[in-house]
Structure 1
Amino acid sequence: MKVRQILNNNVAIVDRGGHESIVYSTGISFKKKVGQPIDDSEIEKIYVLDSKDRLEHFSYMLSNSDEKTISLVNHLVAHGEEAIGKKANDYLYLTLLDHISFALKRAEKGQFIRSPLAWEVKKFYPVYFEIGLHALRMIQDSFGIEFPEDEAVSLALHFVNLQEDRMRIDEKIEDMETLRDMLNIIKYHFQVKFDETSMNYLRLVTHLQYFIERLRNKQPYEGDEMTLFHHVKELYPESFEAVEKIEIYVKGKYNEYLSKDEYTYLMIHINRVTERKDDNP
């Protein structure tokens, strides 16, 4: 490959068989000139972008970013790849560099964001959230700036997007918001604070997750539990009222009614998590 353009002391655009790529290597502009050949062994990182626009955007970002930030992003992506066991595309470097550079500028002004998805990401993407926390530790070590956990959530979502396609991510986020809403309906109906470490709570969350998936796919659970429904309704009238509120929510969001079987099992799970004092089956 040959050097096509020097962007700054550490970044250059090269020609790789007729295709342009960006290379990063400490002091590259002191070692090479335009038109000179460069070997892979001399390069710390090669970025391959899939469009001219992304190449130009990344070129601009790299040429206007300091070496500490670029190195931090490179190490963060390597850590994330190891944590999730999947190779990142080079677009992730661009989005993270853009995000972290802007976050550092915000921090200088004392501007920190709050993430509306903090609860969901912590609960359902713990590995990715840990990557975000790792990023915050790296930023504090490199720049001496301490970010709130909400920033870890935003950084984690970059890696979630790597794992799943955009449409699936949008569905996942919507499902997590639905789960949060349903749990809040139960919590405020009973005026209780859930023990999120209890087995009964985990059973309820698991049931709701499958319930939401069935709603999305329009596959209501149908069995032969009519007698059990009436029995459970009589036993747990408060739980029945809570499920009625959930049905109102579901009707508004999915235009679906709950089957008697869904009512039955939701009442049982809700009663367990709001009334029982132990985790025995």
Structure 2
Amino acid sequence: MIKVKKTMNSNAILAIDEEGEEYILLGKGIGYGKKIGDAIEEASINQRFIPLKNSSIKEYMSILEAIPAELLEVTRKIVSEAEKELNCQLNPSIYFMLGDHLNFAIERYKNNISVTNRVFWEVKNYYPKEFEIGLFALKLLKKEFGLILTEEEAANIAFHIINAEASPNMKGDGMNYSKLMSSVNSIIRYSVNTDIDTESINYHRFITHLKFFAERFFNNSLLNEDNNQLFEQITLMYPKAVEISFLIKDHLESIYSTKITKDEVTYLAIHINRLLNSQRL
């Protein structure tokens, strides 16, 4: 028997089984009116996740709690459509990563921040099925929230779907990844002269971004599209975050003799700003 351990929102709960294993369960209205200890009907479960003893899933749970119930339901519909059209089961992390991406996309939309998709053409032409799912997602977001997003956002959504079609395996030396991420964290802590709340949602978001940055860094595939307009916009809006990004750039270039592109500095600044805001620094 599966019982409620914590209700995150009306569409997501943390559950525990008879053997003490914890799971995240999704389902429309699955958490509505539920109390700790209530039994969960198997038929109401749309997706069971792997046990939460996995540390990365604990991070994802924090992200999931920040996604509004209505957006989580839209995310579930997009994933369901993708699995039907692609005839495959996507990696369960898609619920966290896509949901968080959509939540951030809405935030960017409200603040009139436009982020160019560097692989728009490739996604649209090489992954037509996934791109169609992205277009389906845009229609759903317009219907549910009144958002009018560009086709580039459809490609962003498609990119998450593509990543979820196969189990993600980070390439390269794990020790190098850890050292890079540790040094970046140290620079941020030094710059703000205070400890960072490592349990905050935006910290987990930032770490997720750092993991992908590290992968690009060590595989010589850094973003490089010379988006000067976005860089200038972010420099004006988030000067402190940009300053820290350049400290990180200078440090990594001196250690690894690898040039950090302006695009990477820009996206680092965006995520650092979210982290600083969450810390109220």
Q: TM-score scaled to structure 2, two decimals?
A: 0.54
Partner of 1:24: 26
Question: Structure 2 CA distance, aligned partners of 1:151 and 1:30?
Answer: 31
RMSD: 3.0
1:126 pairs with 2:134: no
CA distance 1:19–1:108, shift in 2 (3 Å): same
- Write out aligned runs for 1:1-281 (5 A): 1-16=2-17, 17-29=19-31, 31-48=33-50, 52-164=54-166
Question: How much does 1:10 deviate?
Answer: 3.9
Question: Structure 2 CA distance, aligned partners of 1:52 and 1:22?
Answer: 12
Question: Structure 2 CA distance, aligned partners of 1:49 and 1:136?
Answer: 32
Question: How much does 1:88 deviate?
Answer: 1.3
Look up the equivalent residue of 2:151 and give its one-letter code. E
CA distance 1:167–1:61, shift in 2 (3 Å): closer
Question: Structure 2 CA distance, aligned partners of 1:42 and 1:119?
Answer: 39
For structure 1, the residue ranges without an aligned partner over 5 or more in a row are 175-281
CA distance 1:156–1:50, shift in 2 (3 Å): farther
Question: Structure 1 CA distance, aligned partners of 2:166 and 2:50?
Answer: 20
Number of corresponding residues = 174
Question: Structure 1 CA distance, aligned partners of 2:139 and 2:131?
Answer: 13
Question: Structure 2 CA distance, aligned partners of 1:143 and 1:124?
Answer: 29
Q: TM-score scaled to structure 1, two decimals?
A: 0.54
Q: Which has the higher contact order (CA 8 A, sep 6+)?
A: 2
Structure 1, 5-14 or 125-134: larger mean CA deviation: 5-14
Question: Structure 1 CA distance, aligned partners of 2:114 and 2:32?
Answer: 38
Question: Structure 2 CA distance, aligned partners of 1:54 and 1:84?
Answer: 26
Question: How much does 1:43 deviate?
Answer: 3.5
Look up the equivalent residue of 1:46 and give its one-letter code. R
Question: How much does 1:47 deviate?
Answer: 3.3
Give identity over the alignment, percent: 27
Please tell me whether the aligned partners of residues 27 and 45 of structure 2 are also in contact (alpha carbons under 8 angstroms).
yes
Please tell me whether the aligned partners of residues 89 and 165 of structure 2 are also in contact (alpha carbons under 8 angstroms).
no
Question: How much does 1:71 deviate?
Answer: 0.6
For structure 2, the residue ranges without an aligned partner over 5 or more in a row are 172-214, 220-281
CA distance 1:129–1:51, shift in 2 (3 Å): farther
CA distance 1:159–1:8, shift in 2 (3 Å): closer
